[in-house]
Chain A
Amino acid sequence: MNGVEGYMYPNEITLYWSVLIVLYPYITGLVAGAFILASLERVFRVEAVKPTYRLALLTALAFLLVAPLPLVLHLGHPFRSPEMYFTPHSTSAMAMFGYVYMWYLMAVLVFEIWLDYRREIVLLSQSSTGLLRLIYKVMTLGSTNISPRSLAIDERVGWIVTLVGIPSAFLLHGYVGFIFGSIKANPWWSSPLMPVVFIFSAMVSGIAGVMLLYMAITKLRKQTIDMRCVDSIAMYMFYIFIIDFSLEMLDLVHRIYEADESFRSLDFMVHTKLYFSQIVIQICLGTILPLVLLFLTQVVKLPEIARKRIYGLSGCLALIGIFAMRWNVVIGGQLFSKSFLGYTTYKMALATKEGLFMAIALTLLPLLFLWVLIKLLPPWPEKSEHAPAIGD
């Protein structure tokens, strides 16, 4: 039969979760990771990463705005999706999505960004003209008091919001891991480690993403990259990456050693259908190579230009590796039969609702959102406000 080896239950031959469902955990992971990076400065007072604080928040928001799109587009009946808010099913992990998402979007991210930018928004609403003035006026939400006392309160509340935001970011992404980890029917997914692995890989991807964006945008703005900042970010990325890799290897070793009824089938899959995306891309190129490169920057005193290149390269590799990880979880989990007797093939469509082009568009869309957000709420220190902004 078409693309089938061995025996699949007949309804298993088609894959029901496509590349869009790969994108969904990837995007929410970037959100959670970017937010954790922002919280480093805010809650843990890591002064070195301050230049990326606001960029990280805006990145998180830009990606969060896109996060539900792949989910909704994948639904057979997208217009019924509000039912998840109105009639959520209490035993369904997925029913949580709407609530976790709204909580994270409104109570954490938007609120924190608003508090952090309130002073600028008020000033901009006075200095700008035309439509922009109206937009800023609306964004002040009628709160125009920017006295030192009022700003001090903003600062305090913002700190609390970030504090609440950290567990919320964990919740947002840990819950995504739980969606897969709680499916007992699927041994490739079913693991209590799944949410934890998702959270740590999310942190790595978010931190790598913001680091790359910071380096790229700074270059575009013809400013100098704050090496103290990227050095610290890279250090955090390295340590979190080690935790992430250890957890993934723990999961792997555990599976190999336990070798339960599904092992023979899954092992075969990893050595055939998933060999390239799992062993080559995810583990070798996407994890071990960036880890080795980052390790070098930690133990050898390298010149600035070498460090920049290494950070750029390992950031890209980490992003590719974590995308591959999501792919291997979502697609890999559907390639083998639950009879453990066969394998099917994923044929990605091109120009359909769930095809490759849509996936590319959804990956680029957050960058467009980020560009608009940066235009509206410049994340740079005020002294450079008169310098040409990105895109100008």
Chain B
Amino acid sequence: MNLSRRQMLILLPAAAVAWKSVLAGSPEESPNYKMTDHWWGMLIDIPKCIGCGNCVRACATENDVPDGYFRTWVERYHRSDWPMNESGEVTANPLIVPEVISPDGGKEGFPAATDESGKYFFVPKMCNHCADSPCTQVCPVGATFISPDGVVLVDQKYCLGCAYCVQACPYGCRYVHPTKEVADKCTLCYHRITQGLTTACCEACPTGARQLVDLKNPNDPIHEFLKTHSVQVLKPQMATGAKLFYNDLDGSVR
């Protein structure tokens, strides 16, 4: 084959681009899964959560989450009664200053409650898979993105590890993986849900406090639930389009 210098100059860069694409490989096939048919979220039923930490352990095992970092964690809130001093003045607003603990992310459960007064409850937390996610907005190279089925993911082969997304998440759901040195977060067990399974945390929950929901599926019980319950998202003022729905969320939770 005879190639002129001009043709070579055109072909070589094209070949370089093509080679890069070949090296990147093709995505894993999933013949029974169509991304555009789904729009994933999660329902968290706070009254059902018993703070056992099963979800945290299951997530850490399933996703090889490094020690000290959390893709999901459980918080225990204690909203005390209205505290008063001796002269009868109210000294704090427990709605604004609740007592919160999450020892090791709630992985091994919680110590027994000591204060008889007020109200105790558990709040499982994880990525809110926001539809208008501030974390994907700021990524300088677009390594983190919202998949067509509504899951916020990170391409760890592409991430620079600048941690701008960590700063941009209002919920503290991201971290920089200590050994991979890239952004890491909940993937909503994407490897499982695209195979027709539920997430590890939902599967491990003994009380059904966590339910994976598909908002595009008309038969999903979430639609009925949303009609009949008072459901909230975290930090609605952030306008992130969060898809982590909390049933019976207390006003003190943030």
Binding site for B on A (CB under 8 A): 7-14, 16-17, 71, 74-77, 80-81, 83-84, 87-89, 91-95, 97, 179, 182-186, 264, 333-334, 337-341
* B: number of interface residues (CB 8 Å): 45
Does the CB pair A16–B166 fall under 8 Å? yes
Q: In the complex, which of the residues B100, B167, B254 has the most CB atoms of chain A within 10 Å of its own CB atom?
A: B167
Does the CB pair B159–A76 fall under 8 Å? yes
CB-defined interface of B154-174 with A at 8 Å, one 1/0 digit per residue?
A: 000011111110111111111
- Chain A binding site: helix, strand, loop or mixed by DSSP? loop
A89 to B120 Cα, complex, angstroms: 44
Instruction: Name the contact of B138 in the complex, choosing from A11, A80, A183, A334 (C-beta under 8 A).
Output: A183
Q: What residues of B have a CB within 8 angstroms of the CB of A71 in the complex?
A: 162
CB-defined interface of B99-126 with A at 8 Å, one 1/0 digit per residue?
A: 1111011000000000000000000010
Does the CB pair B161–A76 fall under 8 Å? yes
Chain A: CB-nearest residue to B239: A184
Does the CB pair B167–A10 fall under 8 Å? no
CB-defined interface of B171-204 with A at 8 Å, one 1/0 digit per residue?
A: 1111110001110000000000000000000000
Chain A: CB-nearest residue to B138: A92
Chain B: CB-nearest residue to A93: B138
Q: What residues of A have a CB within 8 angstroms of the CB of B164 in the complex?
A: 92, 94, 179
Q: What residues of A have a CB within 8 angstroms of the CB of B168 in the complex?
A: 183, 185
Instruction: Name the contact of A75 in the complex, choosing from B105, B138, B161, B171 (C-beta under 8 A).
Output: B161
Whether, in the assembled complex, B226 has its beta carbon less than 8 Å from a beta carbon of chain A, the answer is no
Contact (A184, B238) CB under 8 Å given A11-B70, A77-B181, A88-B140: yes
Does the CB pair A10–B170 fall under 8 Å? no
Q: What residues of A have a CB within 8 angstroms of the CB of B24 in the complex?
A: none
CB-defined interface of B3-21 with A at 8 Å, one 1/0 digit per residue?
A: 0000000000000000000
Does the CB pair A10–B96 fall under 8 Å? no
A9 to B123 Cα, complex, angstroms: 12
Q: What residues of A have a CB within 8 angstroms of the CB of B69 in the complex?
A: 10-11
Q: What residues of B have a CB within 8 angstroms of the CB of A11 in the complex?
A: 69-70, 166, 172-175
Q: What residues of B have a CB within 8 angstroms of the CB of A8 in the complex?
A: 172
- Chain B binding site: helix, strand, loop or mixed by DSSP? loop
Chain B: CB-nearest residue to A94: B140
Does the CB pair A9–B140 fall under 8 Å? no
Instruction: Name the contact of B175 in the complex, choosing from A14, A87, A89, A95 (C-beta under 8 A).
Output: A14
Whether, in the assembled complex, B222 has its beta carbon less than 8 Å from a beta carbon of chain A, the answer is no
Whether, in the assembled complex, B245 has its beta carbon less than 8 Å from a beta carbon of chain A, the answer is no
Q: What residues of B have a CB within 8 angstroms of the CB of A184 in the complex?
A: 134, 170, 238
Q: What residues of A have a CB within 8 angstroms of the CB of B174 in the complex?
A: 11
Q: What residues of A have a CB within 8 angstroms of the CB of B97 in the complex?
A: 264, 341
Does the CB pair B171–A9 fall under 8 Å? yes
- Using a CB-CB cutoff of 8 Å, which residues 113-147 of chain B contact chain A? 125, 134, 137-142
A334 to B166 Cα, complex, angstroms: 11
A334 to B73 Cα, complex, angstroms: 20
Does the CB pair B167–A16 fall under 8 Å? yes
Does the CB pair B158–A83 fall under 8 Å? yes
Q: How near does chain A come to B113, taking the closest CB pair, in angstroms?
A: 16
A87 to B102 Cα, complex, angstroms: 39
A337 to B169 Cα, complex, angstroms: 12
Instruction: Name the contact of A84 in the complex, choosing from B98, B102, B160, B173 (C-beta under 8 A).
Output: B160
Instruction: Name the contact of B254 in the complex, choosing from A89, A334, A339 (C-beta under 8 A).
Output: A339
Q: What residues of B have a CB within 8 angstroms of the CB of A91 in the complex?
A: 137-138
Q: What residues of B have a CB within 8 angstroms of the CB of A84 in the complex?
A: 140-141, 160
Does the CB pair B162–A185 fall under 8 Å? no
Name 4 extra pairs, CB < 8 A, besides A7-B102, A94-B162, A185-B134. Answer: A7-B101, A76-B163, A80-B141, A88-B141
A88 to B138 Cα, complex, angstroms: 11
Does the CB pair B137–A80 fall under 8 Å? no
Does the CB pair A89–B140 fall under 8 Å? yes
A181 to B140 Cα, complex, angstroms: 16
- 20 A-B pairs with C-beta separation under 8 A: A7-B101, A9-B125, A11-B69, A11-B70, A11-B174, A14-B175, A16-B167, A16-B175, A71-B162, A74-B162, A76-B182, A77-B159, A80-B158, A92-B138, A92-B164, A95-B141, A183-B134, A333-B167, A337-B172, A341-B254
Does the CB pair B141–A89 fall under 8 Å? yes
Does the CB pair B70–A80 fall under 8 Å? no
